[in-house]
Structure 1
Amino acid sequence: MNAQRVPGLGLGVAAGLVLGAIACLQLPGLPPWWVMAFALAAAFAAWAVGSGRGRLVAAFVVGAMLCGLHAAHALSLRLPATMERGDFAVRGQIIGLPVHEPQRTAFLFRVASDASMPAPLRGRLLRLSWYDDRREGPDLRRYGLQAGSDWTFTARLRAPRGLRNPGWFDGEKRAMAQRVTAVGYVRSAEPVTRLEAGGGVDHWRERVATRIDAVVDRDSARYVRALAIGDTRGLGDLDWEALRATGLTHLIAISGFHVGMVGGFFALVATGAWWCLPWLGRWLPRPQAAAIVALLASTVYAAVAGWELPTVRTVLMIGVVVIARLARRHLRIADALAYAAIAVVLVDPMSVLSAGFWLSFAGVAWLVWCLPDARELSKLRGVLASQWVATIGLLPLTVILFGQASLAGPIANLVAIPWWSLVVVPLALVGMGLEAIHSGAGDWAWRSAAWAFDLSWPLFDWLAASPISLWWLPEPHWLALPLALMAAFWMLLPRGVPGKWLAALLWLPLLWPDRQLPREGEAEVVVLDVGQGLSVLIRTAHHAVIYDTGPAVPEAYDAGERVVVPALQALGVRRLDAIVVSHGDADHAGGFGAVQRRFAAPVIFAPQWDRVPGASPCLMGSAWRMDGVTFRFLHPDLYFPAFRNPSSCVLRVETAHGAALLPGDIDDLVERLLIRRNGASLEADVVIAAHHGSRSSSDRAFVRATGAAVAMMSTGHGNRFGHPHDEVVERWAQAATAVGSTAGGGATRFRLQAGGLVVTQERVRRPRLWDAARQID
């Protein structure tokens, strides 16, 4: 039977919708909503009555305008700036699974919609934290905050605001895609009341997760939770690092393949029932019954998995196939994929912001195009061919989305896909199904799943630790992606196509991008956006030094792991020649362990009183030279007492084209001491303002002595210390110095080069619709 397509739909229309949504999200701003609404209506009409290229253009406009309206609505949900850091009494329900950490619990909270709630928050989604202040004890926070439970409390809120650094992660983008109105924390000093215990699907998921932890006496219990119900809360940074290194992140949480397995299993059950009870066919034919049962089962399982995008895509594809079966139409897989993509974009066009959208649809599309006759291949050839297609086809997206490529991934996937998907996951699902029937009935299946998982994990752990595991790649030019996709397309063409080796040239901009390193005698100073803390990268032609490593809160947040290391990798830093820890405060030295674990710098400097492992003292007068650039410590001297902030390492970076001064957290007394010692040594084009612009620093005489063109404040947005202080900003401004902040412009690059000082801020360089601030404060 020939495939029958739905008029007005298909691969071309799906591509038009997706490209339109992408184009809209690249705009720095949106047209008025009424303009987008009118254009959307006109484009829908053209789509309905048009044909050929006209219909494709109409689909593009529909995707762009629909995405623009969704984006405008999402941005309008943000808490107004006038209400920032306000306290709000709210009532509502916990959404999803709370994440319990030693010192806090993080969760999503849906505010009630009634008139008693503050108008800007009615029915809105909040991302909150509840910190352990020991007054009510951790039990209420940890065990009372159950999925689906209703609460009333007071929360201190602010609009979603993320850090902006080189690299792929963007917290503000995620907040907009999730329609988060505000972020904040529960005020434990105010009354807190649980109105109702947990309920619903999420509460059942949480109960299953707790049961798995209780009955599986293995470290792999957290992986069984992820594979059974999509609960990845137990996976730490090191777990994700190992999974990325082996290319297994797509398998560890519930994927579309798992949903398909559940749907297929219940389809077989329904088929068996219809065979055993032929009279059922009088009410509903067997093929249609199997399709409907598969759709219902996959929908329930996708809900249990938390409606992640790969599961939604699979459910939509199954739904399309079911509709075709009920209408007695034959449908190609490619058409089902296109219809599913159209449905996803029409329902939520901003889903194109998620990595799951691209990996989910692109992976299936490559397989459908390259292996249309996969059933004719032997099982071994089919597995090898599909792995080759997935590796080459998804490599460009993996590099663009995550800045990395797993060289060990193809090997790991050859083992993990059949073993986990056919042994570990079915056992985990059997346990979940039995648990739904009777509590405790699935314990044996979860233990078996953990045992089977542990059999394979040593191989993946070894691969993750091997030198071929992970290849971190610098952030490429935007043209690198289309060129790499062309290269993948060329390489995956059938045998006999000439010149395939030439495709290697198209990979070069993606896999070996220009790192834009300084020339001999030049330097680049990059002040990373780490919030209320400091981390500065200094690059020369062939070397890299980092000054401070960002803040960290033990067992809760580590900027070294989550911000500094990814930013260094995105900038193409392959090794660090030295790490300077200005002093031991957590906002400067908190990320040291994570940075040193990744880069293993051979030389470490810190004040002699701070116990930084392997560090040498940063004594006044000591210096070294690299690539025509001199690094010189101006403070402290050998006899300066252990005064914490005033004892900070003061580093001066001297180039042939200017200098930069990094004073750590010194105060005005030390600044005046430096002037008395040698005021000329303080002259600099760029100064990282001491102590984040604190009122006790940036003495007027010190400001004049530097003669800086730019003073940079490394601060967190809306920080509780009020940094930078207005008086400090005014002092620098009166000295004709431009004042910038990471809170306003994100990570900032200062290029000390032959043509003069060049300043680039991340939010200005790459403006986005969702940016809360795009200019120097």
Structure 2
Amino acid sequence: MQLAEAAFHDPAASAFPLFGPACAAALLAGVTACLLLPALPPRWLLGLLLVAAIPLLRGARLRPLGMLLAGLAFAVWQAGAALDAQLPLALQGTVLTVEGRIVELPVHEPRRTRFRFVVDDVATQPVALRGRTLQLAWYGEELQPRQRLQAGSRWRFPLRLRAPRGLRNPGGGDAEKFALAARLAATGFVLEPTLAIRLAAPTGIDAWREAMSAQIAAAVPGASSRYVRALALGDTRALDDVDWARLRAAGLTHLIAISGFHVGLVAGFCALCAAALWWLWPPLARWLPRPFAAGAGALLGAFGYALLTGMAVPTLRTAVMIAALVAARWLRRRLRLVDTLALGCCVLLLLDPLAVLGAGFWLSFAGVAWLLWCLPDAGGKGPRALAGGFLAAQAVASLGLLPLTVLLFGQASFAGPIANLAAVPWWSLVVVPLALLGVLAETLHAGLGQWSWQAAAWCFDLLWPLLARIADSPLAMAWLPAPRWYALPLALLSAFWLLLPRGLPGRWLALLLWLPLLYPPRELPAPGEVELTVIDVGQGLSVLVRTARHSLLYDMGPAIPDGFDAGERAVIPALHALGVLRLDAAVVSHGDNDHAGGLRAVATAFPMPLVLAPRGSPVAGNRACRAGLTWKWDGVRFRVLHPGSTFPYLGNEAACVLRIESAHGSALLAGDIGHYVERKLLAEAPTWLRSDVVLVPHHGSDGSSDPGFVAATGAKLALVSTGADNRFRHPRPPVVRRWCGAGAEVLDSARSGAIRVWLGRDGLRLREQRSFHPRPWDAVRRRGETAGLCYAPEFSRP
């Protein structure tokens, strides 16, 4: 009761209520500051922070400072515990047999099934995995055995695991951050599917969700079925990449996932049902007054629906806000909406401070905060007032959330406001209620919900062609380069300035503050200079080469059929984030999948007028890559050294070797050549091998980097592109020692992330993505895996 009194304290009676807006902002600032640090503070500091925070929380005027320290300490504790729970290095790659339960909904793909697995917290399980959550995959050509992997079922699996690892590129997703937010202890795969044993049939809420989703799929044929499942149950497994691309382009992703408005609809319906029951049966009021019963119905509906749809941040935020409003009414206290939002923020952060690592948290709370600040009194009567309030809300949300959208996703949907004008009322007031009504009817009696789901699909199909056309228009989506750190606060200040009341002089000058976000510096080389970026694509290769006005892509990374495509997931986001507007040429060094797999995806996003590939390569270009071919861009010369016109296609040995010569240095991209071609080049053109920067051949394998070749290059910097914990154990230690002994610094993309190198008038400069943006969850730096590579501190690292 004391906590409730503090939460709903009259703002006039205290400078800063415990769960008021100021304290909520301070708590959020403390949590966020902790997770933005390059490393977590030492654990002993946690106790000092708590000791300092407790007396500050008791005083009214210094409570925000106390909440700031408490948020910092709480985040240190939670993040540290989540990182400590990850798989120890000693167990990485070992075979472990575990028992547990499948949670959430498994994703069935043509060649694999992805699912989350919670290991039983019992003495028979490996100590390091007891009670931990794993992200697993079951690979197999046949779907039928994998379909037995149902949510809520219990299994025994032989697994091969590793700590969560991911790629680190400009503009790319951060798998390690995602794993930390989801508290994943390890990722891995079922080692021998024939040894997998199902111990118990599906039970629980996730099993109910999966069964209900299957009933919707059976009742609603056609493409709209997957959208009805998403809107009714939050089941987005059937949405493919094209669907998500259209939703992002139209700015509708916030609707296709279960939103707060959906929770409000269910809570309101349950409140009305409870009030109606009390009205029909008045003796119930002797046990509980009708207003209390309506509030209890709203609470049950809100939290029950949030639980049934996966407990996403927007749904949980709305459920907490509804709980605050109900509690305020039960306590007979007046509560402002801003206080409700602040209380919801505090409760969510106390439940899970790592929620701030997800984009949904920021978009959810920021959207509501903008609306409360700009439209505090919106709610006039009559159709005209409602229409005006809706248009104003769309304008405020579009402008206020644009900075966050650009920062989080690197893109802006200019068609979003138009598409939302039609989609928000139609989906929220027609499609979603019909879909939810079908779920309720089907729960009461099998087969009763089919007509409602079919009606929801029919209503969805009425509007979707128009929304798809808007999303497919060329002006729907704009990709923006990665901005500097100061771009977001300036853009938020501009949005705040623009949304101030009318009549304020000089308001339109705020548009200038958008420039750092919408037109950030692209760090392009000057004429005669060259920049190379080794994109982190895992066990493969992709290198972007830029001059002052031209761009060339050397290889595009690997692609697994119906699985990970580095071209789509790593190369394209990196090109967008680096501000690449077009590719003037591309080189497919040879046809192996780890170099050419991502070509199709990249070519779709960036049409390539010139594609060079070795003659006879299974992945053909429109021009042969052969020795002697040269061209010049912006004072930088490109020269192909291998293969010759008579050299047959021999896979790795036929890889296209490209030399780049500038006024300030040279670089050698050697593909996957081995000792034979290295010695051949050494005999035919030793002077052309001399380079400041060398892409180590064949990812640093034992069959490459001949000692004579290494010495002939005279490289200052040797770059290796490998995947973390790759099965080939690239780069091999003898190869690394060979390059280090020749005086080169050796960097590996698995440890450094994307590596950017500039050859310019300021000398050789480089930037490692992991070092440039270090974070507490950076597994490489935390585990000290840089051992074995050599480091040259004399290079400038801007």
User: Structure 2: how far apart are the matches of 1:611 and 1:668?
Assistant: 23
- RMSD over aligned CA atoms reads 1.5
Deviation at 1:333, TM superposition (A): 1.0
Equivalent residue number for residue 554 of structure 2: 547
Equivalent residue number for residue 218 of structure 1: 222
User: Structure 2: how far apart are the matches of 1:212 and 1:691?
Assistant: 50
- Alpha-carbon spacing, 1:119–1:739, altered in 2? closer, same or farther (3 Å): same
- Alpha-carbon spacing, 1:168–1:528, altered in 2? closer, same or farther (3 Å): closer
Deviations 1:563-587 (A, max 9, x none): 1111111111111111111111111
Deviations 1:704-730 (A, max 9, x none): 111111111100011011111122112
Deviation at 1:659, TM superposition (A): 1.0
Deviation at 1:288, TM superposition (A): 2.1
Deviations 1:583-607 (A, max 9, x none): 1111111111111100112111111
Whether contact under 8 Å (2:138, 2:193) holds in the other structure is no
Whether contact under 8 Å (1:216, 1:447) holds in the other structure is yes
Letter aligned with residue 43 of structure 1? A
Equivalent residue number for residue 348 of structure 2: 344
Whether contact under 8 Å (2:317, 2:348) holds in the other structure is yes
Whether contact under 8 Å (2:78, 2:354) holds in the other structure is yes
1:129 pairs with 137, 141, 145, which one?
A: 137
User: Structure 2: how far apart are the matches of 1:698 and 1:224?
Assistant: 56
Equivalent residue number for residue 707 of structure 2: 700
Percent identity of the aligned residues? 54
Whether contact under 8 Å (1:154, 1:190) holds in the other structure is no
Deviation at 1:346, TM superposition (A): 1.4
Letter aligned with residue 383 of structure 1? F
Structure 2 residue 64 is matched with structure 1 residue 56: yes
1:72 pairs with 51, 64, 80, which one?
A: 80
Q: Which runs of 5+ in 1 are unaligned?
A: none
SS of 2:685's equivalent in the other structure is helix
Letter aligned with residue 51 of structure 1? A
Letter aligned with residue 138 of structure 1? L
User: Structure 1: how far apart are the matches of 2:650 and 2:615?
Assistant: 11
2:43 pairs with 17, 29, 33, which one?
A: 33
Equivalent residue number for residue 386 of structure 2: 379
Whether contact under 8 Å (2:231, 2:257) holds in the other structure is yes
Structure 2 residue 310 is matched with structure 1 residue 306: yes
Deviations 1:272-294 (A, max 9, x none): 33333333333322222211101
Deviations 1:518-573 (A, max 9, x none): 11111110001110000111111111111111110011111111111111111111
Structure 2 residue 168 is matched with structure 1 residue 164: yes
User: Structure 1: how far apart are the matches of 2:290 and 2:336?
Assistant: 21
1:228 pairs with 223, 232, 243, which one?
A: 232
Superposition map of 1:88-487 within 5 A: 88-132=96-140, 137-141=142-146, 143-188=147-192, 191-376=195-380, 378-487=385-494
Structure 2 residue 739 is matched with structure 1 residue 729: no
User: Structure 2: how far apart are the matches of 1:550 and 1:596?
Assistant: 13
Deviations 1:231-288 (A, max 9, x none): 1111111211111111011001111111111111222222333333333333322222
- Alpha-carbon spacing, 1:168–1:560, altered in 2? closer, same or farther (3 Å): closer
Whether contact under 8 Å (1:98, 1:107) holds in the other structure is yes
Whether contact under 8 Å (2:722, 2:750) holds in the other structure is yes
1:663 pairs with 670, 689, 702, which one?
A: 670
User: Structure 2: how far apart are the matches of 1:714 and 1:438?
Assistant: 57
Instruction: Provide TM-score, normalisation by structure 2.
Output: 0.95
Letter aligned with residue 536 of structure 1? V
Whether contact under 8 Å (2:613, 2:620) holds in the other structure is no
SS of 2:496's equivalent in the other structure is helix
Letter aligned with residue 34 of structure 1? W
Deviations 1:362-420 (A, max 9, x none): 10010011001111271221111000000111011111111111000000000110111
User: Structure 2: how far apart are the matches of 1:511 and 1:366?
Assistant: 21
User: Structure 2: how far apart are the matches of 1:708 and 1:619?
Assistant: 24
User: Structure 1: how far apart are the matches of 2:279 and 2:51?
Assistant: 49
User: Structure 2: how far apart are the matches of 1:689 and 1:340?
Assistant: 53
User: Structure 1: how far apart are the matches of 2:550 and 2:455?
Assistant: 51
User: Structure 2: how far apart are the matches of 1:609 and 1:449?
Assistant: 53
Greater shift in the superposed pair: 122-131 or 261-270: 261-270
Whether contact under 8 Å (1:153, 1:190) holds in the other structure is no
Deviation at 1:4, TM superposition (A): 3.9
User: Structure 2: how far apart are the matches of 1:726 and 1:168?
Assistant: 29
SS of 1:773's equivalent in the other structure is helix
User: Structure 1: how far apart are the matches of 2:542 and 2:552?
Assistant: 11
User: Structure 2: how far apart are the matches of 1:584 and 1:457?
Assistant: 40
Deviations 1:324-370 (A, max 9, x none): 11111121111110000011111211111111110011100100110
Structure 2 residue 597 is matched with structure 1 residue 593: no
Deviations 1:196-254 (A, max 9, x none): 01110001111111122222111121111111110111111121111111101100111
Deviation at 1:673, TM superposition (A): 1.2
Q: Which runs of 5+ in 2 are unaligned?
A: 1-7, 790-798
Greater shift in the superposed pair: 91-100 or 34-43: 34-43
Deviation at 1:615, TM superposition (A): 2.5
Deviations 1:54-94 (A, max 9, x none): 11111111111110111110111111112211111101111
Whether contact under 8 Å (1:259, 1:314) holds in the other structure is yes
User: Structure 2: how far apart are the matches of 1:588 and 1:452?
Assistant: 45
Whether contact under 8 Å (2:102, 2:115) holds in the other structure is yes
SS of 1:213's equivalent in the other structure is helix
User: Structure 1: how far apart are the matches of 2:620 and 2:721?
Assistant: 25
Equivalent residue number for residue 710 of structure 1: 717
SS of 2:575's equivalent in the other structure is helix
User: Structure 2: how far apart are the matches of 1:255 and 1:628?
Assistant: 54
Whether contact under 8 Å (1:37, 1:69) holds in the other structure is no
User: Structure 2: how far apart are the matches of 1:614 and 1:631?
Assistant: 18
User: Structure 2: how far apart are the matches of 1:446 and 1:682?
Assistant: 67
